[in-house]
Structure 1
């Protein structure tokens, strides 16, 4: 089947095809009685089994923190969010060995301990980046079971595969080890998360048998990050898709005034985040849409979006297309704040710099959103301290040319600073 024929197939239909709703015991929301409408999020069936998963999953990488600059989780707030999620049927929790400097899995184990083990799904990951020998694989896996306080993982992934880590994972026989754990009942479903080009994805899909796959997908990355092609490869292979970064590291929840105006005009009562999440959920082969929810209000908004989920209409797709056109005019850096680039060998605060710069680019407020804050950075933390070693770019899942972006940002900063100094000098001379 060539690409044109594939795009016409019933599996993809269109970029935003209608979705079949699946509740826990019903295949259509229309058939539900008033008694069944309990505020639970819509669920999707896993392949042709009786297993259903919530269309909204709880990503445990951006949990509330006691201090925004440190990894310690605000467990009091996070536990309440987990309880609320369970109440609403959001019972898929996605964590990983390195999240929150290793604390995320520990928190998940503690927070879910009071619930029956068959009432929720845990997804966690093994990162080949951290492995040196085959013995490390078993050490990491056993440590995860211990931290999560469980004797099996529902959805287990080889983490962040790309053209560099896939050969390493194969040489260490990571897949073979995990497959044996699946046969022993300690893993229920085996998959991988992915950060690379579609050609690499096709290679990974073709070389092993997978139960599911996790990719980055949102309305900006559908074309920019070639997520469309990734989605098509997995759909054609019959592999259900779990989506990460549907909000692109929250950037699609905090858009430019122009983008927000477009959304408000179309539907004033709906958040920008809801639009982005519905975009992803409207794709028929998406099994779970992960959202890293830092605040309780994020969770509540997402629950509203996915309760009795409604796919985007044709008019709503046109609205998003208009927003995409406006978004591409901002000049923001396509950073999702995953922090895989850190630590920088010389101390440059890469994600923070990109976050501030993007805040300025999407808001138009240079002084308050970037200039004034950036000026207070220590010299070693500024973009100008970059020595162009390229270590960060090699680790970036978005394939950003980080040194080039840092140079661009600091050049703009210096130009604005010099202009401000010149204007101030002119004013002081006039006043004198």
Structure 2
């Protein structure tokens, strides 16, 4: 994700430089997916990594997004497509992609749990697991049903650690309870934690004027017991250099530093935002099928972090058509909202901003 771009294409020469620096510094885990950059991420992995380094010198991970497939055959063909695109021969870590909410059932319906076991027996997968975006209770259900997975990939960062929608801490604890190694994704929350508002940013700067905001977020994730590796989507050499310097230091957070990040997160949560807790009550009775919590997530990212990716978040959340402009102002959502949000007004604002 977030590879360097040039003229709307992946800048493969810069990717090669990034791969070379990464490998030279002693790091060797590369994460891609069938759907990243419309599949071009996997072909970039072939050109920049697989074709240029011995196969046993790196680990390559990719992912199968069954929720994008219209049939079992199409879902299983995604695996073969990824093998062809990457030219890797096998995958060190293979993930069933983005389980949670209304997506998990596809992996059962298409018999993909048995499929990845078969591919592991054939030697085409060394380790298989899944990435997950949902509440801890749902994660526990998946782990109970598939306790033989080799690892779990979770969204973990200091902002989401106690977030009621993400439940990062609870998900982490669930994976630990099943003794599963954890791969951390979104340690800097898609780049949001390197663009903090003035107040929270000042707290970190006063504590350590030399430390970048990204280093605080990475150290939080790197210091958690049971973490196999921490992923970071980097778009240029400067970002990579900064991240590598943080990882090289191996410096865990002190007790006081962890308390400081808790304070930063609390201050972030106190800033003006739509107080949506993602309970979903508003969605169940919406006659237009509007994905209200997802729209509010994009709105909050935009207001709290000045997030340039908020538009992308909005488009992803409304990918099935539940856009804000479909609101007919029936008021059903506002009647059931425990937070008493003026949903109709907020949806009108979202439509104006994102559509």
- TM class, shorter-length: 0.7 to 0.9
Q: Distance in 2 between matches of 1:413 and 1:147?
A: 38
Tell me which residue corresponds to 1:169.
107
Secondary structure, counterpart of 1:283 in structure 2: coil
Q: Which residue of 269, 272, 276 corresponds with 2:213?
A: 272
- 1:233 has 2:170 as partner: no
Tell me which residue corresponds to 1:304.
245
Instruction: Write out per-residue CA displacement over residues 215-245 of structure 1, whole angstroms, 9 at most, x where no aligned residue.
Output: 1111111110211111111111110000111
Tell me which residue corresponds to 1:220.
159
Q: TM-score, normalised by structure 1?
A: 0.66
Tell me which residue corresponds to 2:68.
130
Tell me which residue corresponds to 1:103.
40
Secondary structure, counterpart of 1:252 in structure 2: helix
Tell me which residue corresponds to 1:62.
2
1:64 positional shift: 1.1
Tell me which residue corresponds to 1:182.
120
Instruction: Write out per-residue CA displacement over residues 120-171 of structure 1, whole angstroms, 9 at most, x where no aligned residue.
Output: 0101000111222222233211111110012100000000011422222112
Question: Residues 406 and 244 of structure 1: is their aligned pair in 2 closer, same or farther, counting only changes over 3 Å?
Answer: farther
Question: Residues 249 and 170 of structure 1: is their aligned pair in 2 closer, same or farther, counting only changes over 3 Å?
Answer: same
Contact 2:33 / 2:42 at 8 angstroms: preserved in 1? Answer: yes
Q: Which residue of 252, 255, 263 corresponds with 1:322?
A: 263
Within 5 A, what are the aligned runs for 1:409-420?
A: 410-411=348-349
Contact 1:126 / 1:157 at 8 angstroms: preserved in 2? Answer: yes
1:90 positional shift: 2.1
Looking at CA atoms only, which structure, 1 or 2, has the larger radius of gyration? 1
Q: Distance in 2 between matches of 1:262 and 1:232?
A: 28
Contact 1:81 / 1:299 at 8 angstroms: preserved in 2? Answer: yes
How many residues in Structure 1 have an aligned counterpart in Structure 2?
311
Q: TM-score, normalised by structure 2?
A: 0.79
- 1:286 has 2:224 as partner: no
Question: Which segment is superposed worse, 197-206 or 134-143?
Answer: 134-143
Q: Distance in 2 between matches of 1:387 and 1:412?
A: 11
The runs of 5 or more residues in structure 2 that have no matched partner are: 276-293, 309-321, 329-341
Within 5 A, what are the aligned runs for 1:23-62?
A: 61-62=1-2
Secondary structure, counterpart of 1:189 in structure 2: strand
Tell me which residue corresponds to 1:386.
325
Contact 1:384 / 1:410 at 8 angstroms: preserved in 2? Answer: no
Contact 1:386 / 1:406 at 8 angstroms: preserved in 2? Answer: no
If asked which structure has higher relative contact order (CA below 8 Å, sep 6+), I would say: 1
Contact 2:274 / 2:296 at 8 angstroms: preserved in 1? Answer: no
Q: Distance in 2 between matches of 1:319 and 1:174?
A: 43
1:297 positional shift: 1.1
Instruction: Write out per-residue CA displacement over residues 25-58 of structure 1, whole angstroms, 9 at most, x where no aligned residue.
Output: xxxxxxxxxxxxxxxxxxxxxxxxxxxxxxxxxx
Contact 2:182 / 2:228 at 8 angstroms: preserved in 1? Answer: yes
1:331 positional shift: 3.3
1:267 positional shift: 0.6
Question: Residues 409 and 65 of structure 1: is their aligned pair in 2 closer, same or farther, counting only changes over 3 Å?
Answer: farther
The runs of 5 or more residues in structure 1 that have no matched partner are: 1-60, 335-350, 364-368, 370-382, 390-403, 415-432
Secondary structure, counterpart of 2:210 in structure 1: coil
Q: Which residue of 142, 145, 156 corresponds with 1:204?
A: 142
1:357 positional shift: 7.0
1:330 positional shift: 2.6
Instruction: Write out per-residue CA displacement over residues 64-108 of structure 1, whole angstroms, 9 at most, x where no aligned residue.
Output: 1125xx5x2111222211111111122111110010111100101
Q: Distance in 2 between matches of 1:320 and 1:200?
A: 27
Q: Distance in 1 between matches of 2:346 and 2:220?
A: 32
Structure 1 ranges of 4+ moved more than 3 A: 331-334, 351-363, 404-407, 409-414
Contact 1:246 / 1:280 at 8 angstroms: preserved in 2? Answer: yes
Please give the root-mean-square deviation of Cα atoms over the aligned residues, in Å.
3.3
